[in-house]
């Protein structure tokens, strides 16, 4: 039996995630949205790419949560996107209601699934999904660090003139201005970036990473990024569906790890069949601890704003 992946929200991020999931042959893909015709049309268009791309899974669209029953992974992308001048926090109030409804219905239709939350502000939205779904912490995870780390690795690769795949770098903390692109651990095939780039250049790359989403929003004017967010969610889904034990930075519920508890923070986790199988805790410098504390404080502020 093939895996089943439901993607809630047929906007740019959701449709792109469906594209990546189908192209990678992860299983049958259901695109779900409240707008009649949109998920059906996009799914049919994507299905017809099968003969060209070589995938054979089913791709369908629906407006009915009943069709998502039995999903192995549910990716929540539904919600409003940022526009120029908006912060991720500006989306919170409206997106809480959307994610709350999606998580409740997903939990009812697919009680054994793993929930991957993409909707912004991610740290608050994954907390919302966790609270309303009633799922254990290992089966609710937020997509943030994979995207932010991809941006970080891209900017480092550009500065160094090397292949992005050879850059190893990670972003921790909140998905927002207080995110922490770790300089100390970043390397190119084992060579520390601190030996290759100046402090000034590295600080500029860190700042660009922290504002990477806003940079794209300012270019697009009418929306936010979708290619890499969609792929980042699918990268996580693939690790879960294939039980590959990938180590990826994700928004995970911490209970004492790194000295913090009771919230979702971007940390390195092992993703497998059960969702989050382990948080990889390592020793932070005093400066990194202080930065993570700022992230944690910002996350708690968002959590309070959800009213849950």
Catalytic (active-site) positions: 175
CB contact set of 80 (below 8 Å; sequence gap of 6+):
91, 94, 95, 98
Alpha-carbon distances of 255 from 34, 40, 63, 188, rounded to whole Å:
36, 41, 37, 32
Element (H, E) at 59: strand 59-62
Degrees (nearest 5) of the Cα angle 88, 121, 116?
Answer: 145
Degrees (nearest 5) of the Cα angle 251, 4, 63?
Answer: 90
- Give the number of other CB atoms < 10 A from CB of residue 192: 13
Element (H, E) at 296: helix 286-306
Q: What is the pairing mode between strands 140-142 and 114-117? A: parallel
């Amino acid at each position: 039996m093939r895996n089943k992946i439901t993607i809630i929200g047929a906007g740019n991020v959701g449709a792109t995630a469906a594209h990546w999931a189908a192209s990678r042959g992860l299983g049958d893909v259901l695109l779900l949205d409240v707008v009649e015709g949109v998920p059906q049309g996009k799914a049919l268009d994507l299905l017809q790419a099968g003969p060209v791309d070589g995938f054979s899974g089913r791709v369908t669209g629906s407006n009915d949560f009943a069709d998502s029953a039995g999903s192995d992974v549910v990716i929540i992308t539904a919600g409003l996107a940022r526009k120029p001048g908006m912060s991720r926090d500006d989306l919170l109030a409206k997106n809480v209601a959307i994610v709350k409804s999606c998580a409740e219905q997903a939990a009812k239709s697919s009680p054994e699934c793993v929930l991957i939350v993409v909707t912004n502000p991610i740290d608050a939205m994954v907390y919302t999904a966790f609270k309303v779904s009633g799922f254990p912490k290992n089966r609710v995870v937020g997509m943030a660090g994979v995207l932010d780390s991809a941006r970080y690795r891209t900017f480092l690769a550009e500065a160094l003139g090397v292949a992005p795949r050879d850059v190893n770098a990670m972003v921790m903390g909140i998905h927002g201005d207080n995110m922490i692109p770790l300089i100390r651990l970043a390397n190119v095939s084992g060579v520390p970036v601190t030996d290759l780039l100046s402090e000034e250049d590295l600080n500029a790359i860190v700042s660009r990473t922290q504002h990477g989403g806003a940079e794209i929003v300012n270019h697009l004017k009418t929306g936010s990024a979708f290619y890499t967010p969609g792929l980042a969610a699918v990268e996580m889904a693939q690790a879960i569906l294939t039980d590959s034990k990938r180590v990826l930075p994700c928004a995970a519920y911490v209970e004492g790890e790194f000295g913090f508890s009771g919230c979702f923070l971007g940390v390195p986790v092992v993703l497998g069949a059960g969702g989050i199988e382990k948080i990889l805790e390592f020793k932070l410098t005093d400066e990194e601890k202080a930065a993570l504390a700022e992230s944690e404080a910002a996350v708690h502020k968002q959590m309070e704003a959800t009213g849950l």
